[in-house]
Structure 1
Amino acid sequence: MFAFDVLLVGDAPSSPEVRDAFPEHLTVETVVSRFDEALSYLRENDANCVVCDHSLPDRNGIELLSAVRERDADLPFIIYTDDGDEEVAAAAIDAGVTAYVPRESASDVDRVVDRTVESARKDHVARTVDVSDPTAANLRLAQRTMDEAPVGITVADATEPDEPLIYVNEAFERLTGYDKHEALGRNCRFLQGDDTDPETVATIRQAIADDRPVSVELLNYRKNGEPFWNQLDIAPIRNDDGDVTHYLGFQTDVTDRKEVELRARRQAEQLQADRRMRERLLARIDGLVSRVTAATVNSTSRTEINERICKAVIETNDYDAAWIGTRQMTSDRIVAEARAGCGTAAEIRVLPDDTDPVNEAARTGTVVVADAGSLPESSPHRRFMPPDGGIAAIPLRYREAEYGVLVVYASQTRTLDDHETAVFEALGRVVGTGINALQNQRLLVTDEYLELVFSGGQPGPVLVELAARADCEITYKGAVSGSDGQFALSVLAAGADIDALRDAAETMPDPPELKLVADYEEGCLLEVLPGGDSLVRTVLDHNGSVRSLTAGGDDTDIRIELPGAADPSGVVQTLLEQYEGLTLASQQRRERDRNARQKVVETLQTELTDRQLETVQKAYMSDYFEWPRPVSGEEIADSMGITRSTFHQHLRAAQSKIIGELLDEIQPVTDPTSRV
C-alpha cells in the first residue's frame, strides 16, 4: 500500500502530539534519536522527508542537515525545535533546510505536519517519475503552475496497487472539500456515491485497463455530501519504454451546465408524457363521455339512465366495475340502484360514515378518489378492486339538485389521476343535466305528482324569517322571473304595513328588497327579492315548484310539488340543510287531470313572449283583475321599470292570446261541411 516514508529525529519531532497528527493512511513514520542512527537509516532506506530536532544527544540538527546534503541535495529536510533562535535559523537556511519551524504553540504541530506531508509528496513524485521521460520532466517543472491552476488536477501512481493519488492541487481541494492529506494515498473513487452512474464508472475502468485517455461527465460528491457534476479527463503518462507510470486527471465543475441539460431533458420528457396523457385523456373522454351522453339522451326513465351509464363506464375497458346509488331518507344509507361489473354481489350499500369516499362525495359535491390501501378492512368497496386498486366517487348534480353518486373502481390507482378527476367532474355534470331534463319532461306529461309539506319556523326561508321578525302573517302568491333570472316573490302580508316590514327586513343577515304593490286595511301586497338563498330557485333546480307558503310566527306551512317519478331525497336534504328550522311534515302522492288543459298550456307557452307572460303574472298576483282594483296599472308598471302605456300594451296582447286560446278550446264542435 502506498505511503510516504518520514524519518523523525530527536525529541520534538517524535513527540506523541506530532505523531498522532500524521494521517495514518498516508505516512509511515520511523523514529530515531541520534545523529549516526539517522545517517544509517538514510543509507539503507529511501525516505521521502526528514524532520529533525536541533538538539541531539551527540550532535545537532544543523550538522545532520549538512551531512545529508553531501549525499542528497533534494531530500526534504525540516528542522522542528523548541530551542532554536535567530542564529540557528540562519545556519539552517545556509545549510539548505527545506523548512524551519520553531516549536512555540500547539498550532505549530499542524504546521510541521502540513509541511512534512507536502514535502514528502513532492519528493515521492520526483522519485517515482522517470527523469528521462520528457513528459514527466515537464510535469515536475510545471508543478507550481499546476498548483495554481483553476481546475482540479490530480496525479495517480500507476505502479502502485489501486492507483493511489500522489498529487492534488488547491483547485481540487476547493472543488471537493477534501484537503490534500485526506485525498493523497487513495483511489479517486472515494468521490463517488449512491447515484454515480455505474456505466460511466465502468467506462473509466476500461479505459485505464486499456491504457488510453478517457473523458466523461460523472456525478461525484463533495466531502459534505453535496453532489456535483464533474467533467473528468484522464490521460496516461508513459516512460521511454511506453509503460504507463502515472495518470494525470483534470476535474471541472460542470454542475450548472449539466443541470440545465438535465432540466431541458426532463422538460422534454414531461412534455412527451403530457402529450401522451392528453391523447389518452382525449380518447377516454371521447369514448366515455360520448357513451354516457348517448345513454342519458336515449333513456326514457331514471332506472334506464342509471343502468346504461354503469354499462357505458365499464365498456371503456379502463374500469372494472361501477354502480349508481342514492341516499335513503329513512336509514341515511347510500344504496345501489344500478350496477355493472359487480358480479353477483348482494345489495351494495354504504353506511353513513363521513370517512367513506362515497359519503364524502355526496356531502361535498366534489369528486373523491381513494386507493384501496387507505380504506378500512371492513369497507364494502374492497370486494370490487385489488389491493393496489382505487375508487372514484362522482356526485351527480344539476345546480342544487342531487341525483346520487356514480362509483367507479379501477384495478390500478394511477388510472385515477388529476386528469381523470377532471373527466369525472364533467361526467357528473353531464349525467346530472340529463337526469334533470328527463325529470322536467316527465313533469310536463305526468298526471301524478308528489307533494311535500314542510312545517316549522326559524331559521327558514326569507318569507318565514320576514313574517317572524315583523310579527305578521305572509302568504305566498307566486313568483315572476325577471330578465336577470332573479325571482320576485309576490306575497300578501297581513298585520303589518310596509314600513314595519322594511324595518324587519333590515335585521336579517341577507336583507331582501321589498317593493310595495298595494296597501290594504289589514296589510299590504308587495314583491320580495331575496338577498340570499331562494327557496323557489332551490326547488326549481330539483324539478319542483312551490305550490303554497303560509308563514306566521312559528306556524309555517310550505307545500312543494315534485314529479311523480322524482326522488324526493335530494330536495328534502337540501332544504333541511339550508333551513334548520324546517321539518318534513308529510309526503303524499297525488293526481291531476292534465289532458283538458295540456294543449292550452303548450300553445300559450309558445305564443306568449317572456315580457307578456311576466306582465300578466304581475297583474294577476297583484289582484289587478279584482274590483275595486287595489293597485293601478301605473303602480305595476313602476315595479317593472316600464311605462304605463307599455304595461297596458303587453297586458292587452297577453289577454287577447289567452282568451282566444280558451275560446278555441271551449267553442262547440261544428260540422265542417256546414261552414260557408
Structure 2
Amino acid sequence: MTESNPLVGWRHLAEAVPLGVGIQCGETLTYVSPTFAAAVGRGRDELVDSSWQTLFESAEVGRIADALETARTDGRWRGATWMVGAGRVPVELALSAPADDGTVVWCVDERPAESGDRSDDGEMVELPTGTTAQLARTVLSTVDDVVYIIDDDGRLCFWNEELAATTGYSYGEIAEMHAHEFIPPDQHEYVPGLMEAIESIEDRRVEVDILTSDGERITHEFSGTTFEDPVSGRAFRCGVARDITERKERERDLERQRDELEALNRITDLLFETAKESIRTGQGDIAVQVLCERIAASDFYQFAWLGQSEPGERYVRYSTSSGIDGGPTRIETDRSGPVARAIETGTVTIGESTPRWREQTQGVESITAVPLQHRETVHGVLVLGSGQRDGMTPRERTGLEVLGRLVGVVLDAERTRQLLFADGVVELDFDATDVETPYATIAAALGCTVSLDGYVPSGDGWVLYLSVDGAGPAAVADRLADEPRVERVRPITDDGQSGRLEVVVNRSSLLERVTAAGAAVQMATAAPDVARLTVEAPVDADVQGIADRIVEVYPSASLLASRERDREVATGGQPSGALDGLTDRQQEVLEAAYRSGYFDWPRESTGEEVAAALGLTSATVQGHLRKAEREVFAALLGGD
C-alpha cells in the first residue's frame, strides 16, 4: 500500500472512507469512526468505551462471540448480522485481528449518515492518541474490497492491497498509472475527473468492470464520496469497489431458471391445448391446427409448420401452419438439415434458418424440428421458427419431445379412426410362404397351422392371440419362449392337438409399420407349406405405400391381390357401433379380455392374467372393464 500524497492523512481518510471502522481491545470498543456510529444509528460517545455486546440483541451475542474467536484464531471473519441502534440495523460485518495483542478491527458496510460526522463545534473528530498512518494502512488492509482515493487529476494517491491483488499490477506500476487505465474504455464515463469533475460527482453506486493486467474484466460495484482537504483545498474521491462476480452469476442463474420455467410453462400449455382439442373434437387435424395457432401466437416462436409423412415416401407433406404464409409444400427427408435429422433420429433437432424459410418469414434465425412419433413410427415433423440462435435447455428439449410424442399419438389415432370409420376398405393379400418368421418355422417343424386371431398394443410392445391346429399349444409355447422378442407366452386353451395362445412381444416390425400407415392386419396364417397375410386399409389410403412398407419388413413377400369391399354396417368401431363411446385404453382392455377368454364360461383367463399381459395392475383392468361393459350395454340397450 502506498500514500504518495502527504496531504492525505489518517484523519481525512477515516472521515472519507465509506465504511464504518471500529477498534476493540479486550471486550471494549476503544474507537469507532463517525461512519460506524452513523451506520448503527447511535452516538459515538455512547459507543466508545462500551462493551461490544451492546451492539447486538441477546440472541445474536453468542454468534458474534464465536466470530470474534474465529477472527483471533484465523485472522478474519465476515458475515451478515443485525446491530442494535436506531432500530434493528442490517449490516455486513468484517472482523480482523491484525496483531497478536487481542485487538480486533471491526468494519461495517457503509450507511449514509444524516448527521454525526462532525462534533458539535464543527471540528474533525480526533483519533485516539498515538494513531498513525501505519494503523490506517493496517485497518484498510483487513478490508476484502478495493479501497482507493483519487485526486482531482485522476491519479491514485491511496489504495489498499486488494487493488493490487485484484488487478495483478505491482505497487510501482499502480503508482504510475491513471485511474482510467483500470477501467474499460466503454465505461470511462464513470472514471472520476476524466469526463466529469470530481467536485460535481454525487455519491452513488454503479457497476463498473475493473481491468486486470491480463485484460480480464471483473465486475465490481463502486460506491464513493467526494471530500476536500482543508489544508490544500483540493478535492479527492474516496471509494470502495466490491467484487460482485458471484452475485451476477447468481442473478444470471436465476434468470436462466426463470426462462426455463417460462419455456416449460408454455410447452405445458401447448400439451394441454392439444390434448383438450383432441378430446373435444375427436379429430386430429383440428387438434394440430389449434396447436400451430397457439405456438405462433406465443412470444417465443414466430411460426409453426407441421408436415406429415406417408408410407414409402421420402418426404413430409405440408399439413397445416400458422404464422407463416403456407411454407414449403414438402420437405425431402433424404437430404441434410434439421428436419431430415429429426425424422431419421427421432430426436428434437435445432439448426440455422435457411433461405427457404427466410423468404417467407422475417427475423427467423433458427428452426427447431420436433419429430411427431408414436412408438417406433415418426408420423411427421413440427417445425418451429425462432428469432434466437441460442440453444435450448435440456428441460425445454424434453418438453418438446413429450409434445412431439403427444401429437404423434394424435396423428396415429386419427389414422386408426379413419380405418375404423371408413365405409369402404381395401384388402391386400400377400403370399408370405418364403418369409422366415418364428411362426412359419414352428408350423413347418410341428406340421401344424398357426393363425393370428387378434392383437392389442401394450406399452411399447404387443399382445398377440394365436390359434394352433395340428399340434399341442404347450409345444408351440415352448418353442416361442426361446424367441428373443417374446417376453411371455402361455396357453389359453389346450385340446391336445389344437388350442389358443397368448404371446407378449416387445416389438413387431410388421404391426408397427402397418398400424402407422393407418391400416390393420386382418389375417395372418402360417402352415407347413404356405403362409398368407391380409391387410385392411381405408379406400383413400396410399395402398402402394402400405404394400412397400410390408415388403420392407418381409422382402420375400409378394402382393397377390387387392380388392375393395364395403364394410358391414354392424362392424364394431363404426360411429353407430356399440364400441363408439369407449376410450382407446378401454377398447384395448376389452379386446384383450375377450381374446383371452375372460368372458367364457368357465373362464379361460383370469383378470390377473389379462392384467399381466397388458402390463397393468389387476385393479386398473377391472376398472376399465366395468366402464367398458357399461358403455357397451348402454349403447345396445338404449341406456343413458
Query: Which TM bucket (shorter chain)?
Result: 0.5 to 0.7
- Judge conservation of contact 2:180–2:188 (CA < 8 Å) in 1: no
- Judge conservation of contact 1:544–1:562 (CA < 8 Å) in 2: yes
User: Which residue of structure 1 aligns with residue 281 of structure 2?
Assistant: 297
Q: Equivalent of 1:448, from 402, 425, 446?
A: 425
Matches of 1:141 and 1:595, distance apart in 2: 108
- Judge conservation of contact 2:148–2:159 (CA < 8 Å) in 1: yes
SS of the residue aligned with 2:524? strand
User: Which residue of structure 2 aligns with residue 206 of structure 1?
Assistant: 196
TM-score (norm 1): 0.53
Q: Equivalent of 2:522, from 547, 558, 561?
A: 547
Per the TM alignment, residue 219 of structure 1 is displaced from its structure 2 partner at its CA by 3.0
Q: Equivalent of 1:148, from 138, 150, 174?
A: 138
User: Which residue of structure 1 aligns with residue 618 of structure 2?
Assistant: none
What one-letter code is carried by the residue in structure 1 that aligns with 2:314?
A: D
* 1:588-603 → structure 2 map (5 Å cutoff): 588-592=562-566, 594-595=568-569
SS of the residue aligned with 2:177? coil
TM-score (norm 2): 0.55
User: Which residue of structure 2 aligns with residue 363 of structure 1?
Assistant: 344
Per the TM alignment, residue 535 of structure 1 is displaced from its structure 2 partner at its CA by 6.8
SS of the residue aligned with 1:558? strand
- Judge conservation of contact 2:150–2:236 (CA < 8 Å) in 1: yes
SS of the residue aligned with 1:548? strand
Matches of 2:275 and 2:477, distance apart in 1: 52
User: Which residue of structure 1 aligns with residue 177 of structure 2?
Assistant: 186
- For residues 349 and 593 of structure 1, do their structure 2 counterparts lie closer, same or farther at Cα, with a shift above 3 Å needed? closer
What one-letter code is carried by the residue in structure 1 that aligns with 2:537?
A: L
Q: Are positions 1:531 and 2:527 aligned together?
A: no
User: Which residue of structure 1 aligns with residue 89 of structure 2?
Assistant: none
Per the TM alignment, residue 513 of structure 1 is displaced from its structure 2 partner at its CA by 1.5
User: Which residue of structure 2 aligns with residue 558 of structure 1?
Assistant: 533
What one-letter code is carried by the residue in structure 2 that aligns with 1:362?
A: I
Per the TM alignment, residue 509 of structure 1 is displaced from its structure 2 partner at its CA by 1.4
Unaligned runs of 5+ in 1: 5-133, 625-632, 643-653, 662-676
- For residues 355 and 580 of structure 1, do their structure 2 counterparts lie closer, same or farther at Cα, with a shift above 3 Å needed? farther
User: Which residue of structure 2 aligns with residue 463 of structure 1?
Assistant: 439
Matches of 1:337 and 1:267, distance apart in 2: 39
User: Which residue of structure 2 aligns with residue 177 of structure 1?
Assistant: 168
- Judge conservation of contact 2:316–2:381 (CA < 8 Å) in 1: no
- For residues 174 and 618 of structure 1, do their structure 2 counterparts lie closer, same or farther at Cα, with a shift above 3 Å needed? closer
Per the TM alignment, residue 182 of structure 1 is displaced from its structure 2 partner at its CA by 1.3
What one-letter code is carried by the residue in structure 1 that aligns with 2:494?
A: A
SS of the residue aligned with 2:505? coil
What one-letter code is carried by the residue in structure 2 that aligns with 1:447?
A: G
User: Which residue of structure 2 aligns with residue 515 of structure 1?
Assistant: 491
Matches of 1:321 and 1:601, distance apart in 2: 32
Cα offsets for 1:412-456 (capped at 9, x unmatched): 356996759946853773475266247426524513334253636
Per the TM alignment, residue 204 of structure 1 is displaced from its structure 2 partner at its CA by 7.7
Q: Are positions 1:350 and 2:331 aligned together?
A: yes
Cα offsets for 1:449-493 (capped at 9, x unmatched): 342536366664x5346547x465542151376999963422225
What one-letter code is carried by the residue in structure 2 that aligns with 1:361?
A: A
* 1:153-302 → structure 2 map (5 Å cutoff): 162-165=153-156, 170=161, 172-193=163-184, 197-201=187-191, 206=196, 208-210=198-200, 218-225=208-215, 227=218, 229=220, 231=222, 233=224, 235-236=226-227, 238=229, 240=231, 243-244=233-234, 247=236, 249=238, 251=240, 254-255=242-243, 258-259=244-245, 261-263=247-249, 265-266=251-252, 289=274, 293=278, 297=281
- For residues 291 and 207 of structure 1, do their structure 2 counterparts lie closer, same or farther at Cα, with a shift above 3 Å needed? farther
Q: Which is greater in Rg?
A: 1
What one-letter code is carried by the residue in structure 2 that aligns with 1:243?
A: G
What one-letter code is carried by the residue in structure 1 that aligns with 2:467?
A: V
- Judge conservation of contact 2:451–2:468 (CA < 8 Å) in 1: yes
User: Which residue of structure 2 aligns with residue 324 of structure 1?
Assistant: 307
Q: Are positions 1:436 and 2:413 aligned together?
A: yes
Matches of 1:415 and 1:185, distance apart in 2: 44
Could you say what the CA RMSD is over the residues aligned between the two structures, in angstroms? 5.9
- Judge conservation of contact 2:348–2:397 (CA < 8 Å) in 1: no
Matches of 2:281 and 2:469, distance apart in 1: 45
How many percent identity over aligned positions? 16
What one-letter code is carried by the residue in structure 1 that aligns with 2:190?
A: T
Looking at secondary structure, tell me which structure has more strand per residue. 2
SS of the residue aligned with 2:191? helix
User: Which residue of structure 1 aligns with residue 82 of structure 2?
Assistant: none
- Judge conservation of contact 2:517–2:546 (CA < 8 Å) in 1: yes
Matches of 1:248 and 1:146, distance apart in 2: 17
Per the TM alignment, residue 548 of structure 1 is displaced from its structure 2 partner at its CA by 1.9
Aligned pair count reads 477
Matches of 1:599 and 1:473, distance apart in 2: 33
Cα offsets for 1:505-526 (capped at 9, x unmatched): 3442134524273355xx5434
Matches of 1:289 and 1:616, distance apart in 2: 32
What one-letter code is carried by the residue in structure 2 that aligns with 1:359?
A: A
Matches of 2:326 and 2:591, distance apart in 1: 54
User: Which residue of structure 2 aligns with residue 107 of structure 1?
Assistant: none
- Judge conservation of contact 2:296–2:304 (CA < 8 Å) in 1: no
Q: Are positions 1:479 and 2:454 aligned together?
A: yes
- Judge conservation of contact 1:449–1:562 (CA < 8 Å) in 2: yes
Matches of 1:176 and 1:214, distance apart in 2: 23
Per the TM alignment, residue 340 of structure 1 is displaced from its structure 2 partner at its CA by 7.6
Matches of 1:285 and 1:544, distance apart in 2: 27
SS of the residue aligned with 2:541? coil
- Judge conservation of contact 2:492–2:596 (CA < 8 Å) in 1: no
Cα offsets for 1:193-246 (capped at 9, x unmatched): 36x744432688535254988776643234355526365646555354x521x7
SS of the residue aligned with 1:206? coil
Q: Equivalent of 1:492, from 468, 478, 482?
A: 468
Per the TM alignment, residue 572 of structure 1 is displaced from its structure 2 partner at its CA by 5.9
SS of the residue aligned with 2:210? strand
- Judge conservation of contact 1:217–1:232 (CA < 8 Å) in 2: no
- For residues 217 and 587 of structure 1, do their structure 2 counterparts lie closer, same or farther at Cα, with a shift above 3 Å needed? same
- Judge conservation of contact 2:188–2:195 (CA < 8 Å) in 1: no
Matches of 2:383 and 2:596, distance apart in 1: 49
- For residues 204 and 568 of structure 1, do their structure 2 counterparts lie closer, same or farther at Cα, with a shift above 3 Å needed? farther
What one-letter code is carried by the residue in structure 1 that aligns with 2:352?
A: D
Matches of 2:557 and 2:441, distance apart in 1: 15
- For residues 557 and 155 of structure 1, do their structure 2 counterparts lie closer, same or farther at Cα, with a shift above 3 Å needed? same
SS of the residue aligned with 1:363? helix
Per the TM alignment, residue 591 of structure 1 is displaced from its structure 2 partner at its CA by 0.3
- Judge conservation of contact 2:333–2:343 (CA < 8 Å) in 1: no
SS of the residue aligned with 1:566? coil
What one-letter code is carried by the residue in structure 2 that aligns with 1:491?
A: S
- For residues 315 and 467 of structure 1, do their structure 2 counterparts lie closer, same or farther at Cα, with a shift above 3 Å needed? same
SS of the residue aligned with 2:196? helix
Matches of 1:639 and 1:234, distance apart in 2: 83
SS of the residue aligned with 1:530? strand
